[in-house]
Amino acid sequence: MTALEPPLALLAELTHRCPLQCPYCSNPLALEKPANEMPTADWLRAINEAAGLGCLQVHFSGGEPTVRRDLEELVAGATAAGLYTNLITSGVALDAKRLTSLTAAGLEHVQLSFQDSGAEIGERIGGYEGAHAKKLATAKLVRDAGLPLTANFVIHRQNLHHLTEMLDMAVAIGAHRAEIANVQYYGWALKNRAALMPSRTQLEEMTATVAAARARLEGVLVIDYVVPDYYARRPKSCMGGWGRRFLNISPSGKVLPCHAAESLTGMAFDNVRQRSLAEIWRDSEAFNRFRGTDWMPEPCKSCDRKEIDWGGCRCQAFAITGDAARTDPACGLSGDHARLVELAAGEAEAAADGFVYRRYGAG
Ligand code: SF4
Ligand code: FES
């Protein structure tokens, strides 16, 4: 096995509390209650340990991280530890006073999520009336504060016809970067797959629109584009490989190799309140389970891409086959691939449009 490198970034999921109800929520099925959230001192220690391990960035996320009243303290702690700080927010609960105090604490970047380019569809998806105007106001505050802004759009069958408008809106609000990410189907999103899955033709149109926009907006807007795995020929290198580049800490302090790892039933995750982050990164059973290439089955084991995509996504393999140790079904070489493609095409055609919303407090 190759030598273990330090993680590049920490995703600090401060809370699962969230005012939005998105049907593709990536948080685990069992949400953490506020009483189980790590207190400030434990978060500060974990952030310092991450910096000590070699992490360069911390992404404060959730749920909605701004519901934590100690966010300024955590940003200040991360800044003092030399980490680049990014806030990932829905923007519906952020006012000028709060943004000023976060900026004073050292906040360096904001990623603002939008559910669509307009209020009607966006507010139906997020299940929050009045969200769109609040998000636009937050974008202005962020730019007025001189912070760089990324606009995040999760895209799917019910909003993909607004892709061009989303990119134009990103430019209009002063974003430097837009992330257009197709829904990834594990956890809660699996419940809504039939309402969200695009068809192959829609995917091809989306990809062409992104290519044209990249040419049109060169030097104005950087566009990151995450395609839906179900129509891929080869899988994405999820998280840059399990336990290679990233670590996540859940609201209660569980240290996870990816944000969806808790969907893998039967795996145990160490808690940063009980063990140091360095020890967990290096020695924990969960991080070592799918690290590197030794765990791989065929066809990955003898594949020349095994150190490029690291066998794809463990959470997707589990969601589709019930076995996290199988080759990612998004790979055309996987024995499960045909079933995945059939499933995607069937659900795209069925054209269901009702959502099972994700309501915090309702499970
Ligand atoms: Fe990646 Fe495995 Fe597919 Fe090869 S066989 S491309 S390593 S998922
Ligand atoms: Fe967990 Fe891909 S999301 S490994």
Measure 190 CA to ligand 2 centroid, in angstroms. 14
Distance 291 CA to ligand 1 centre (A): 15
Task: Divide the 363 residues of the chain into consecutive groups of 10 and give the mean pLDDT of each group.
Answer: 84 92 79 93 98 97 94 98 97 95 98 94 85 96 97 94 97 97 83 86 93 96 88 90 96 96 92 97 96 96 96 93 95 93 82 73 58
DSSP conformation letters of 130-169: THHHHHHHHHHHHHHTT--EEEEEEE-TTTGGGHHHHHHH
184 CA → ligand 1 middle, Å: 18
Q: Is 300 in the pocket of ligand 1 (CB under 6 A)?
A: yes
The rounded distance, in Å, linking the Cα atoms of 242 and 312 is 9
Residue with CA closest to ligand 2 atom 2: 313
> What pLDDT sits at residue 185?
81
Per the CB < 8 A criterion, the answer to whether 223 and 180 are in contact is yes
* Amino acid 326: pLDDT: 96
Q: What is the pLDDT of residue 2?
A: 61
Check if 235 has its Cβ closer than 6 Å to any atom of ligand 1.
Answer: yes
Closest CA to 82 of 111, 41, 52: 52
Round to whole Å and give the CA distance between 98 and 77. Answer: 17
Residues contacting residue 196 through CB under 8 Å, at least 6 positions apart = 23, 24, 156, 157, 158, 183, 189
Q: 127 C-alpha to center of ligand 1: Å?
A: 38
pTM assigned to the model? 0.93
Count the residues in the chain.
363
Q: From atom 7 of ligand 1, which residue's Cα is the shortest distance away?
A: 306
Give the nearest ligand 1 atom to 296 CA: 2
pLDDT for 275: 97
DSSP bridge partners of 87: 60, 110
* Per-residue pLDDT, 154: 94
Q: Is 328 in the pocket of ligand 1 (CB under 6 A)?
A: yes
pLDDT of residue 25: 82
Pocket lining for ligand 2, CB < 6 angstroms: 238-239, 242, 258, 260-261, 313-315
The alpha carbon of 324 and the centre of ligand 2 are apart by a number of angstroms equal to 10
Tens digits of residue pLDDT in 315-325:
999 988 999 99
Closest listed ligand to the CA of 313: 2
Supply the pLDDT for residue 362: 60
280 lines ligand 1 (CB under 6 A): no
Ligand 2: distance of its center to the CA of 32 in Å?
A: 20
Residue 106, CA atoms < 13 Å, CB-side half-sphere? 18
Q: Which residue's CA is the closest to the ligand 1 atom numbered 3?
A: 331
Amino acid symbol at 306: K
Residue linked to tokens 């990536």: 26
Q: Whose CA is nearest to atom 1 of ligand 1?
A: 311
